A and B are shown apart, each in its own frame.
Chain A
């Protein structure tokens, strides 16, 4: 590469290069070899396919919702249908896409390789977790086919327990099962990270991607069971008609809120932390620099996980919790915002004195940094008690968590998919097209959700099927943006699929990256490493990469 070139992309000579004959894809053949595999990479692929399917189902619902909101009148669908649409959109996107998105796919693929292990600690449990996910997914779809459910993804009691006759039980069961899938993923990661690190892979030599997943896994393991039990209680209350959550029978509906949000707030960090891990890898690689303040970033992940357990009641500020307890939760909420700020600034300063190039993953990463900053700071609006009164339950909060989840998490997910695509498949995606997709996504996203902030402060409530006419203009803008966004999401599917067959051969390390995963062939062998590597350098050590020609990483000293 000449010094002045604007890319670090370094592909082998296409005329001679080939995909290694022996790799995890070619190791075995036939559908069964995939359905019964213990290989974390194959399971990651299974996950990647299934979550993509559910992403597009959920996306379709979102499209219908935006279409309905094009006009103030309830004209496209009936109000019941509309309620089912946003419920299904929420349930599918949260439990079947966002929670497993990065951990179960990219994380599943990379965690063992990054810590220098041959597989996750419990391959069978890993496979089991995929099957649980599928069962959960099928249950959700069956609820959908049987007529849907309209509780909203938050299952607010007593509405969900005593006032609706849709398929609440099926959906609750689905989420219960899918929950255990994520518990097992988290459990597997924690054990792998503690127990399976290769010689020399000390905690502070681990890639930040691994740190982020470690933090997220803790949340998965400790949080999800509480969601499980609260859903069990909802189910029992529906079946036996008892009133643990029904004030008419002496129960307290807020108890459900407490139990539900005890999981569902940490769940937000389960969703975003792995994305942050991706960003650390990408930003470092494309600025050829070690992440600025590695330790701070690592610890901020853990801090987020820890604080994440202390703030759940900020979802209930106006729901009648005691004012004093609201005070406490608001304060803690402000504290949890700080580690995210630290991360953002550390990533920005990673660029300083770097040698920056702008391939697709980096573009998505920039998108993440911008949109996540907005998402995070608008979170402070909602954490600030008085402001929350005006903004909660309006489109402001919808915009806020879409900035974090879609603008943050989805950008990170796409960034990661593009970044590691050559490693997963051995082939490159078409660079120019993917850059276009990144830009389109960014524009479409902002057009969709920026107007919703304004709508929110104007007071347009969320989950409204019809709205006063003065809100129409902003809704039209939002719908227009959603259309662009849809195109932005369609493109990757198409060209990534295309690249599977026609993409250029990527070679082992197209990005000149330092991670262990880049020092092995792509696609990797089933056992990842011919010999267990010895980690003899810091993470993101680019000088080491320079001298790697003399010293092979996988060489046992």
Chain B
């Protein structure tokens, strides 16, 4: 038994880590574990039930003690029992699971928004203050964090097991998930959707800090400009403000306070303006013509990176008045030296 000491060592290591269940490091985790234990209980009971039935019958009716079988047609009562009881249990699982699902995928309104951009094979996090991190994520404890995620290439999936959250990161559209960390520490980030060669290298660490530590961290690692400020610069340099100037005569609709509003579109439909809508309106403008305007806006598909889009979206979210728009307009007109489309290159 040469293997046994090795195995023993592994077992020790494992038992010391007592890694039967992941740590509960978010507000969702205990709720998820409750459901997990319910399902686990159901499974154990079910399996034990089957095993016991089979074992008992095998004992009592094995050929040596019960040489002649008695034929039984069946029993509607019994069959009804084991149709209805499992059905009931499964429906409980359904309802419970559904409640949890909607809780995890519907962020609270007061949550702080962090953008995640996934690409082969790295995670980029963008904090509202403009802090960028690669394969890392620093978050404050006790504060709901909404992750607004998008992929630049293929499907990825952002998973933090210790928070019990996971969401596919989809190319070409935002997906969101939220969590509220409860214990400081560092936890794994995995990409769980197979995404090519270095799929298993697309991992990272989320660091949960106390609010004051987080504040310190943001000040240390600030890039000087917030996402909204980057967005503002981009908005001007790409000449968006030429049309979206907010003047009554402007060729484009005013964007002040547009975020979160209900918009009447030219094709008659009404839409709720959110990040996803703003992003899509920049890339496929003709799909989202505001009523009363003509489809003259060019598409920015391929001219602006996902990071640039995030910056602009963040800018538009902060845009409550057109005052600064007109300011930047005049300034950008005053110095034509600035290259028109530096959109892709504002990392």
A contacts, CB < 8 Å to B: 3-8, 74, 79-80, 83, 150, 152, 156, 158-159, 163-164, 247-248, 250, 253, 287-290, 292-296, 317-320, 323, 326-327, 330-331, 334-335, 337-338, 341-342, 344-346, 348-349, 351-358, 366, 369-370, 373-374, 377-378, 380-381, 383-390, 392-394, 454, 457-459, 461-468, 470-474, 476, 480, 542-543
Picked from B42, B61, B166, B196, the residue with its CB within 8 Å of the CB of A390 is B166
Q: 7 A-B Cβ contacts within 8 A?
A: A79-B200, A158-B171, A320-B170, A344-B50, A355-B63, A380-B43, A393-B157
Taking A334-B91, A470-B17, A473-B10 as known contacts, 13 extra A-B pairs with beta carbons closer than 8 A to each other, sorted by chain A number, are: A83-B194, A150-B197, A159-B196, A163-B196, A289-B72, A319-B170, A381-B36, A383-B90, A387-B100, A388-B97, A393-B157, A394-B159, A464-B200
Name the CB-closest residue of B to A341.
B86
**B339 CB within 8 Å of chain A:** no
B294 to chain A, nearest CB (A): 22
| A158-B153, A392-B166 as given contacts; A348 in contact with B97, CB under 8 Å | no
Task: Give the distance in Å from the alpha carbon of A338 to the alpha carbon of B94 in the complex.
Answer: 13
Please give, as numbers and ranges, the residues of chain A lying within 8 Å of B194 by CB-CB distance. Answer: 83, 152, 156, 159, 462-463
**B94 (CB) vs chain A CBs: closest residue:** A334
Q: Determine whether the beta carbon of B63 is less than 8 Å from that of A158.
A: no
Q: Chain A: interface secondary structure?
A: helix
From A300, which residue of chain B is reached at the shortest CB distance?
B83
Instruction: Name B199's contact: one of A4, A319, A465, A472 (CB within 8 Å).
Output: A465
Interface size band for B? 35 or more
Q: Given the complex, which residues of A lie within 8 Å of B46, measured CB to CB?
A: 373, 377
Tell me whether A374 and B74 are in contact (CB under 8 A): no
Least Cβ–Cβ distance between A403 and chain B, in angstroms: 11
Assess whether A8 is in contact with B63, with CB atoms less than 8 Å apart.
yes
Contact present for A354 and B69 (CB under 8 Å): yes
Residues of A within 8 A of B22 (CB): 457-459
Q: B215 interface residue, CB < 8 Å from A?
A: no
> Which residues on the B side are within 8 Å of A330 (C-beta)?
94, 97-98
Residues of B within 8 A of A (CB): 3, 7, 10-11, 13-14, 17, 19-22, 31-32, 35-36, 39, 42-43, 46-47, 50-51, 53-54, 57-58, 61-64, 66-75, 78-79, 82-83, 86-87, 90-91, 93-94, 96-105, 120, 153-155, 157, 159, 161-162, 164-168, 170-173, 175, 188, 190-201, 284, 301
List chain B residues, Cβ under 8 A from A358: 58, 62
Closest chain B residue, CB of each to CB of A467:
B200
Closest to B70 in A: A353
* Contact in complex: A383, B190 (CB < 8 Å): no
Q: Which residues from A are CB-within-8-Å of B36?
A: 381, 387, 390, 457
CB-defined contacts of A467 to chain B, threshold 8 Å: 200
A472→B7 CA distance, assembly (Å): 11
- Known contacts A296-B74, A341-B86, A459-B190; A351 and B58 CB within 8 A of each other: yes
Partner of B42, one of A292, A317, A377, A480: A377
**Inter-subunit contact A5/B166 (CB<8 Å):** no
Contact status B155-A319, CB under 8 Å: yes
- In the complex the two chains form, is A356's CB within 8 Å of B161's CB? no
Do the beta carbons of B195 and A159 come within 8 Å of each other?
yes
In the complex, chain B residues whose CB is within 8 Å of the CB of A463: 194, 199-200
A354 touches B57 (CB 8 A): yes
Using Cβ atoms and an 8 Å threshold, which residues of chain A touch B162?
459
How distant is the Cα of A493 from the Cα of B223 in the complex, in angstroms? 65
Smallest CB-CB separation from A292: which chain B residue?
Answer: B74
Closest chain A residue, CB of each to CB of B203: A468
CB-based contact A156/B155 at 8 Å: yes
Contact status B62-A389, CB under 8 Å: no
Residues B35 and A386 in contact, CB atoms below 8 Å apart:
yes
Across the interface, do A345 and B90 meet the contact criterion of CB distance under 8 Å? no
Q: Which of B7, B79, B168 contacts A346 (CB 8 A)?
A: B79
Interface pair B63/A348, CB less than 8 Å apart? no
* Nearest B residue to A289, CB-CB: B69
Once bound together, how far apart are the Cα atoms of A346 and B86, in whole Å? 14
Report yes or no: B154 in contact with A353, Cβ–Cβ below 8 A.
no
